[in-house]
Chains A and B, each alone.
Chain A
Amino acid sequence: MMVLEAVGLALLFLGLFCANVGALGLVRFPDVFIRSHAATVMSMGGAVVSIFAVALMGGAHNPSFFVKACLTALIVIFTSPTGSHAILRAAHKSRVKMWEGTFCDMLREDEEKDG
């Protein structure tokens, strides 16, 4: 029981670190496409790891708590990529300006080829 709580606490601090670094990346990165990578650090490393940590800490006393918290983490894992995919697809379709250092954009090339 003590081991589970200690591991949970360590993971909670890891999640805290990821969330903070992700927020910093959201400010530092130059355009919406690159910022979405920082947002992924926040949703996966920040949210999912923190929820799993809470699941371990609470699950040490109450097994059903563990199941419920893991289900919450699973829902975040399944819904968050749908959101970031939709945002970036919309941004690309409405021709949001990409950073000037962008190396290549093959989606635009293929779209122009198709006409």
Chain B
Amino acid sequence: MGEGSGKPNRILKFITVFLAFFSLWLLLTSALKFDEILVGAAASLLVAYLTSEIMVYGGVRDKFNPARWFWALFYLAYYWLYAEVKAHYDVIRRILSPRMPLRPGIVRVPYTLKSDCGIVCVANSITNTPGTVTVELDEERKTYYVHWIWVVSPDPKVCHREIAAPFEKYVRRFLG
């Protein structure tokens, strides 16, 4: 954020998008032959030229910051090895239990993130864990409305601590 839209910045954006598409091409073909690489480079150049203005959110330098990449990978591991496992266990237990303990409701969950990407990342993380689904997002009140399968308490502070705080803590370190 805060960088101008002058010519150097546009070239940086172009290079970022080109590198992203070209590395995706290399991963997908995974054959290091000259003609494959040539076609991939040409296609990536064309796509980067057409889309570089709308593909990059925020500052370009953030995308090459190794600390941000580390926290993104750390978040991926934390999310899949802890958050998802815990949420799956909880919901599977409710499905299989004969009495089926349910206390569902839509609660307010305030958030403190600033960037659009960060807000969407946390909202998607909440939806992807079973037991909580983001139904609506209010940017003026800075609140997610989350359908929760077991409402511990309707107090927004408790909801934030239980649902959004663990994700926000790590997402803030790579998306702001």
Q: Which of B132-173 contact A (CB under 8 A)?
A: 132-136, 138, 141, 145, 147, 149, 151, 154
Closest to B103 in A: A103
Is A104 an interface position by the 8 A CB rule? yes
Number of residue pairs spanning A and B whose beta carbons lie under 8 angstroms apart: 126
Q: Are A28 and B136 in contact (CB under 8 A)?
A: no
A102 and B128 in contact, given A18-B88, A33-B147, A64-B28 (Cβ under 8 angstroms): no
A28 to B92, CA, bound (A): 12
Find chain B residues with CB under 8 A from A99 CB: 102, 104
Is B13 an interface position by the 8 A CB rule? no
A101 and B95 in contact, given A80-B128, A81-B128, A85-B134 (Cβ under 8 angstroms): no
Closest to A68 in B: B28
Secondary structure dominating the interface of A = helix
Expressed in whole angstroms, the minimum distance between the Cβ of A56 and any Cβ of chain B is 14
Closest to A43 in B: B128
Q: Are B92 and A21 in contact (CB under 8 A)?
A: yes
Find chain B residues with CB under 8 A from A38 CB: 91, 95, 130
Q: Are A106 and B107 in contact (CB under 8 A)?
A: yes
Q: Are B107 and A104 in contact (CB under 8 A)?
A: yes
Q: Are A28 and B30 in contact (CB under 8 A)?
A: no
Q: Are A106 and B135 in contact (CB under 8 A)?
A: no
A103 and B104 in contact, given A33-B147, A36-B133 (Cβ under 8 angstroms): yes
Q: Are B128 and A85 in contact (CB under 8 A)?
A: no
Expressed in whole angstroms, the minimum distance between the Cβ of A33 and any Cβ of chain B is 5
A41 and B107 in contact, given A78-B124, A84-B127 (Cβ under 8 angstroms): no
Q: Which residues of B contact A (CB under 8 A)?
A: 27-30, 84, 88, 91-92, 94-96, 100, 102-108, 123-124, 127-136, 138, 141, 145, 147, 149, 151, 154
For the complex of A and B, 4 pairs with smallest distance between CB atoms: A64-B30, A81-B127, A103-B105, A25-B95
